[in-house]
Structure 1
Amino acid sequence: METSDRRFNLIQQVALCSAIFLVAFGVHKALAWRETSVLPVPVTRQIPLSGEDKNLARNAWRYFELNRSQTGLVTSAAGFPATTMWDVANQLAGMVAARELGLISLQEFDPWMTQVLATLQKLPLYRNELPNKAYNATTLVPIDYGQPEKRQEVGFSAVELGRLARWLDIVAVRYPQHAAASRAVTSRWKLDRLVKDGQIMAATTASGKEVWQPEGTLGYEQYAAYGLSKLGLKPTQALDVKTQTQLVDVMNVEVPTDKQGTKPNCVVSEPYVLDGLESGFKALPVEYAARLLQAQQHRYLATNQLTAWSETNLDQAPWQVHNCVVADGRPWQTVTPGGEDATAFRGSSTKIAIAWNVLFRNRYTERTYKGMRWLADPQQGVFAGFYEESQQPNRALTLNTNAIVLEALLYNQTAQPIEEWASNSQVVSRSTGGFSLTDEN
Structure 2
Amino acid sequence: MLSKLMVACSAVLLTSCGVVYQSVEEGITSFNASQIIRQGRFGELNEDELQWAQTAWLYVENNTQLKTGLVNSLDNFPSTNMSALADYLIALIAAQEFELITSKEYDERLSLVITFLVEMPLSQVSVPNLAYSTSSGEMIDYGMQPNDIGWSSVDIGRLLIALALVKQRNQEFSEYIDKAVLRWNFCELVNEEGSLFAGSIVNGQPQRFQEGRLGIEEYSSYGYLDWQIVPAKSMNVNPYEVATINGIDLLFDGRDPRKYNVLRPIMSTPYLQLGLEFNWDGISDTASLDSYHTDDVLSAMADSVYRVQESRWDEERIYTARGEHVVEGEPYFVYDSIYALGTPWLTVAEDGSVYDELALVSTRVAFQMWALWKTNYTDHLMVLVRELYDPDRGWYEGRYEVNGSYEKIITLKTNAGVLEALLYKANGKLYKPSKAKEYRDVRFNSRFNHPGKCHVETFR
TM-score by length of 2: 0.80
Amino acid at match of 1:114: S
CA contact (8 A) 2:194 2:230 kept: yes
Residue-by-residue CA offset, 1:269-316 (whole Å, 9 max, x unaligned): 000000110011137611101101111011112332220001111234
- 1:245-264 matched pairs, under 5 angstroms: 245-262=240-257, 263-264=262-263
CA contact (8 A) 2:41 2:374 kept: no
Amino acid at match of 1:117: I
Gap change, CA 1:140 and 1:188, over 3 Å in 2: same
**Distance (whole Å) between structure 2 residues aligned to residue 97 and residue 49 of structure 1:** 12
Q: Which residue of 2 aligns with 1:136?
A: 133
Q: CA deviation at 1:327?
A: 0.7
Q: CA deviation at 1:354?
A: 0.7
- State the SS of the aligned residue for 2:140: strand
Gap change, CA 1:201 and 1:290, over 3 Å in 2: same
Gap change, CA 1:186 and 1:42, over 3 Å in 2: farther
Q: Which residue of 2 aligns with 1:173?
A: 168
**Distance (whole Å) between structure 2 residues aligned to residue 40 and residue 401 of structure 1:** 28
- State the SS of the aligned residue for 1:77: coil
CA contact (8 A) 2:265 2:339 kept: yes
Alignment partner of 1:349 is 2:362: yes
Alignment partner of 1:382 is 2:381: no
**Distance (whole Å) between structure 1 residues aligned to residue 158 and residue 406 of structure 2:** 28
Q: Which residue of 1 aligns with 2:426?
A: 413
**Distance (whole Å) between structure 2 residues aligned to residue 226 and residue 299 of structure 1:** 31
Gap change, CA 1:55 and 1:39, over 3 Å in 2: farther
**Pick from 206, 212, 227: which aligns with 1:210?**
206
Q: Which residue of 1 aligns with 2:272?
A: 273
**Distance (whole Å) between structure 2 residues aligned to residue 256 and residue 305 of structure 1:** 22
Gap change, CA 1:258 and 1:354, over 3 Å in 2: same
CA contact (8 A) 1:200 1:221 kept: yes
More displaced 10-residue stretch of structure 1: 294-303 or 57-66:
294-303
Alignment partner of 1:402 is 2:401: no
**Pick from 297, 302, 316: which aligns with 2:315?**
302
Residue-by-residue CA offset, 1:345-370 (whole Å, 9 max, x unaligned): 11121111011111111111111122
- 1:16-27 matched pairs, under 5 angstroms: none
CA RMSD, 1 decimal: 1.9
CA contact (8 A) 2:40 2:371 kept: no
**Distance (whole Å) between structure 1 residues aligned to residue 275 and residue 154 of structure 2:** 17
**Distance (whole Å) between structure 1 residues aligned to residue 113 and residue 239 of structure 2:** 37
- State the SS of the aligned residue for 2:156: helix
Amino acid at match of 2:341: D
CA contact (8 A) 1:199 1:235 kept: yes
CA contact (8 A) 1:174 1:422 kept: no
Q: CA deviation at 1:329?
A: 2.5
Q: Which residue of 2 aligns with 1:35?
A: none
Residue-by-residue CA offset, 1:332-355 (whole Å, 9 max, x unaligned): 110112221111211121111011
**Pick from 232, 235, 244: which aligns with 1:236?**
232
CA contact (8 A) 1:40 1:360 kept: no
Structure number having the greater strand percentage: 1
- State the SS of the aligned residue for 1:114: helix
**Distance (whole Å) between structure 2 residues aligned to residue 344 and residue 50 of structure 1:** 36
Q: Which residue of 2 aligns with 1:97?
A: 94
- State the SS of the aligned residue for 1:113: helix
- State the SS of the aligned residue for 1:390: coil
Alignment partner of 1:338 is 2:351: yes
Residue-by-residue CA offset, 1:99-132 (whole Å, 9 max, x unaligned): 1111112111011101110011111100051000
CA contact (8 A) 2:323 2:335 kept: yes
Residue-by-residue CA offset, 1:121-147 (whole Å, 9 max, x unaligned): 1111000510001011111121123x1
**Distance (whole Å) between structure 1 residues aligned to residue 337 and residue 68 of structure 2:** 35
Amino acid at match of 1:127: Q
Q: Which residue of 1 aligns with 2:154?
A: 159
Any stretches of 5+ residues in structure 1 without a counterpart? Answer: 1-37, 425-441
Gap change, CA 1:103 and 1:423, over 3 Å in 2: farther
- State the SS of the aligned residue for 1:234: coil
Q: CA deviation at 1:422?
A: 8.7
CA contact (8 A) 2:41 2:371 kept: no
- 1:57-136 matched pairs, under 5 angstroms: 57-69=53-65, 70-136=67-133
Task: Tell me which stretches of 4 or more aligned residues in structure 1 moved more than 6 Å.
Answer: 421-424
Gap change, CA 1:77 and 1:236, over 3 Å in 2: same
**Distance (whole Å) between structure 2 residues aligned to residue 53 and residue 313 of structure 1:** 25
Q: CA deviation at 1:396?
A: 1.1
Alignment partner of 1:56 is 2:56: no
**Distance (whole Å) between structure 2 residues aligned to residue 417 and residue 323 of structure 1:** 26
- State the SS of the aligned residue for 2:337: strand
**Distance (whole Å) between structure 2 residues aligned to residue 423 and residue 48 of structure 1:** 28
More displaced 10-residue stretch of structure 1: 47-56 or 83-92:
47-56
Any stretches of 5+ residues in structure 2 without a counterpart? Answer: 1-33, 283-296, 437-460
Q: CA deviation at 1:49?
A: 2.1
TM-score by length of 1: 0.83
CA contact (8 A) 2:43 2:425 kept: yes
Gap change, CA 1:422 and 1:386, over 3 Å in 2: farther
**Distance (whole Å) between structure 2 residues aligned to residue 293 and residue 51 of structure 1:** 27
More displaced 10-residue stretch of structure 1: 205-214 or 85-94:
205-214
Report sequence identity in percent: 29
Aligned pairs, number: 384
- State the SS of the aligned residue for 1:302: helix
Gap change, CA 1:311 and 1:346, over 3 Å in 2: same
- State the SS of the aligned residue for 1:285: helix
**Distance (whole Å) between structure 2 residues aligned to residue 185 and residue 321 of structure 1:** 32
Q: Which residue of 2 aligns with 1:31?
A: none
Gap change, CA 1:49 and 1:315, over 3 Å in 2: farther
